[in-house]
Chain A
C-alpha cells in the first residue's frame, strides 16, 4: 500500500516537473546577459529594456489586449445565452444542430477554422462588400466564434448545478423571467461568467493560427509577431517577453484560483448542510 502511494506521487511529481521545467528554464534564461541563448553569461535585465523600446512589439501587445477584451466580453454574453438555452430549454427545434455547433469548435483544428473564417469573409466581401478587407473586426469575429463554446461549457456546468427552486420561488412571488434571471440566476452563476471571460481572453490573446488567416495589414497581433520572430530561432528578447507573459498570467490565475477555491468551499459547505437536512 505504501509503495503504491509512493509510486503514484512520484508519477505526479515527474508529471509536474515535465509541465513546469521548460517554463522555469525559459524564465531563468531571460535574465541571461549573453546573446547566445543557452550559454550563461551572467545576470542581466537588458533584454527587458530592449523589449520596452521595441515599438512593434508594444503596438502588437496593445492591439492583442484590445482584441482579447472585446472578444471576451462578446463571447461571455453569447456563451452565457447559449448555456441558458442548453440547460433551461429542454426541447426546441434544431437542438442537435445547436449542441453540435457548440461542441465542435472545442476540438476543431485551428487551421480548419482559420481557413473557413477567411473564406467566409472573402465571400461576404464579394457578395455584400462587407467586411471591407481584413481588420481588427474580422479577428474579433473569428475569435468570438471559437471562444464562445468554451464559455458555454463553463457556464453550462454551473447553471446545471444551480438550485432551480430559487428561481421557482422568485417566480411564485411574481417576479418576471428577466428579473429572475438578473436578480437570482446571474449572481449565482457570476463566478462561471468570470471564469469564461478569463478563458476566452486567454484563448484570444494566445491565438496565432486563426489570427494569421483573418488578419489584415495594420492589424498584427502579439502572437503573430512572436511567431514570425520565433520561426527564425531562439532569441533573448522573446525569452524576456515570454517571461513577462508567464508572470502576468500566473499572478492572474493565482488570484482567480484562490477566489474560486473559496467559492467551491462555500458550495461544498452548503451542499453538506442541504444533505444533512435530508
Chain B
C-alpha cells in the first residue's frame, strides 16, 4: 500500500518507547476506564435482578457464605423486552423515524452540499460556516424553537389560518410529524459536512471527460458524481441515523404521548420506574441494533483519516 511506504519517511525514532507510552497512556487509560468499562457494567447489570434498594439492582457476582463465587445470570430482562410489545414497537418505530429522517436529510443536504462545493472557491468556506453555525448554538434551544412554531396557536398555524389555506388549526406539535421535523432540522449539518468533503475533493476533469465524450450533464451527474459521492453519503447517513435512533430530547419535547421511541422508553425506565436492569437491557439491545451502522461509520471514518495521512 502506498501510504505505508510514505510512512517510512518518518523520523525512525520520534519519541523513545517510554516516551510513546507516556503520550499514549493518558487518553488510552481514560477511554478504557470511562468508555469501555461502563459498557461492560451496563452489560453486567442488564443480567441482574431489580431490587427496591440503593442501588436498585442485585449484584451479579457475590461471595456466598461458604466463599463460593456465585454468578447469577438473569435473562429475565431480555425475555421481558422480547415479549412486551411496547419495546419491540419502540425499537421498530425508532428505526423507522431515524431511517426516514436520514433519507430527508440526504434529499435536503445533497443539493446544499453540491451547491457549496461548486460555488466559487472564496465563497465555499463562508457558505459552509453558515451550515455549521446553527450546530454551535444550543441543540436544546433549536428544538425548543420548533415548539413555538408548531403548536396549535403557534406561528405556522397562525400563518396558515391567516393565508386562508386552513380554517382549523392543525395539530402538529406532539405528533410524529414534529419529531421528523426536529430530527431533520437538528441533524442536517451532520449530513452536509461529509457530503461537502467528498464533493469538494472530486476531480472535475472526470466531468469534462464525460462531456467531451458526449455525455449530457444530468447523465454525467448520475454516472460520475453520484457514485463518487457514495462515501460521503454513507458517512453522513450514519452520523444522522445512529444518534437519531437513540434520540430522547426531540421526541420528548416535540412528540406526543404515543410517539414511541426507544430513547424515551429507556429514559422512563430509568428515571420514572427506577428499573435500572431493564434500562440496561434496553441499552444493550439498542447497541446490538446499532453495531453494524457504527462499524460502517468507523470504516469510513478511518478511511478518510488515512487518506489525510497520506
B134-168 toward A: CB 8 Å interface, digit per residue (1/0)?
10111111101111110101110010000000000
- Interface CB pairs A-B, < 8 A, 14: A12-B111, A25-B148, A38-B151, A89-B14, A104-B35, A106-B297, A107-B294, A108-B242, A115-B42, A116-B38, A120-B37, A157-B308, A167-B11, A168-B11
Complex CA gap A58/B120 in Å reads 45
Residues of A within 8 A of B308 (CB): 156-157, 160-161
Chain B residues engaging chain A, CB cutoff 8 angstroms: 7, 9-11, 14-16, 19-20, 23-24, 26-28, 30-32, 34-39, 41-42, 45, 55, 108-109, 111-112, 114-116, 118, 125-127, 129-131, 133-134, 136-142, 144-149, 151, 153-155, 158, 185, 188-189, 217, 238-239, 242-243, 245-249, 252-253, 263, 266-267, 270-271, 276, 279-280, 283, 286-287, 290, 293-294, 297-298, 301-302, 305, 308-309
Complex CA gap A160/B145 in Å reads 39
Residues of A within 8 A of B293 (CB): 107
Q: Is the CB of B41 within 8 A of A119?
A: yes
Complex CA gap A123/B24 in Å reads 26
Chain B, Cβ-Cβ closest to A79: B27
A104-125 toward B: CB 8 Å interface, digit per residue (1/0)?
1111111111011101101100
Q: Is the CB of A110 within 8 A of B243?
A: yes
A249-B137 contact, Cβ under 8 Å, with A8-B111, A8-B115, A110-B246: yes
A206-B108 contact, Cβ under 8 Å, with A167-B11, A234-B147: no
Partner of A8, one of B14, B114, B286: B114
Complex CA gap A238/B9 in Å reads 56
The minimal Cβ–Cβ distance linking A171 to chain B, given in whole angstroms, is 5
A38-B148 contact, Cβ under 8 Å, with A85-B23, A110-B246, A115-B266: yes
A235-251 toward B: CB 8 Å interface, digit per residue (1/0)?
00011001001100110
Q: In the complex, given contacts A97-B36, A253-B136, what are 18 additional A-B residue pairs having Cβ atoms less than 8 angstroms apart?
A: A12-B115, A19-B134, A23-B142, A81-B27, A82-B28, A88-B10, A103-B301, A109-B243, A109-B246, A111-B248, A119-B38, A156-B305, A177-B15, A209-B249, A213-B270, A242-B138, A257-B129, A260-B125
Residues of B within 8 A of A257 (CB): 126, 129
Query: Binding site of A, secondary structure by majority: helix, strand, loop or mixed?
Result: helix
Partner of A230, one of B140, B154, B280: B140
Give me the 3 closest cross-chain CB pairs, A-B, nearest first.
Answer: A109-B246, A116-B38, A11-B111
Chain A, Cβ-Cβ closest to B108: A15
A171-B247 contact, Cβ under 8 Å, with A119-B276, A208-B140: no
Q: Is the CB of A209 within 8 A of B248?
A: yes
Residues of A within 8 A of B271 (CB): 212
Partner of B134, one of A20, A84, A153, A234: A20
Complex CA gap A109/B270 in Å reads 16
Tell me if A22 counts as interface (CB < 8 A to partner B).
Answer: yes
Complex CA gap A9/B114 in Å reads 10
Q: Is the CB of A19 within 8 A of B151?
A: no
The minimal Cβ–Cβ distance linking B61 to chain A, given in whole angstroms, is 11
The minimal Cβ–Cβ distance linking A176 to chain B, given in whole angstroms, is 9
Residues of B within 8 A of A153 (CB): 301
Chain B, Cβ-Cβ closest to A145: B34
A126-B112 contact, Cβ under 8 Å, with A78-B27, A110-B246, A120-B34: no
The minimal Cβ–Cβ distance linking B149 to chain A, given in whole angstroms, is 6
Residues of A within 8 A of B10 (CB): 88, 90, 164
Q: Is the CB of A25 within 8 A of B140?
A: no
The minimal Cβ–Cβ distance linking A178 to chain B, given in whole angstroms, is 8
The minimal Cβ–Cβ distance linking A75 to chain B, given in whole angstroms, is 10
The minimal Cβ–Cβ distance linking B146 to chain A, given in whole angstroms, is 6
Identify the interface centre among A101, A111, A142, A253: most chain B CB within 10 Å of its CB.
A111
Complex CA gap A160/B305 in Å reads 8
Complex CA gap A144/B34 in Å reads 9
Q: Is the CB of A100 within 8 A of B32?
A: no
Complex CA gap A188/B248 in Å reads 40
Chain B, Cβ-Cβ closest to A165: B9
Partner of B141, one of A26, A79, A264: A26
Chain A, Cβ-Cβ closest to B125: A261
Partner of A117, one of B34, B109, B111, B270: B34
The minimal Cβ–Cβ distance linking A68 to chain B, given in whole angstroms, is 12
Partner of A157, one of B15, B111, B305: B305
A230-B253 contact, Cβ under 8 Å, with A22-B149, A103-B297, A117-B34: yes
Q: Is the CB of B35 within 8 A of A103?
A: no
Complex CA gap A145/B36 in Å reads 10
Residues of B within 8 A of A9 (CB): 115
Q: Is the CB of A206 within 8 A of B115?
A: no
Q: Is the CB of B35 within 8 A of A82?
A: no
Q: Is the CB of A177 within 8 A of B19?
A: yes
Q: Give chain A interface residues in 131-174, CB to chain B under 8 Å.
A: 141-142, 144-145, 148, 152-153, 156-157, 160-161, 164, 167-168, 171
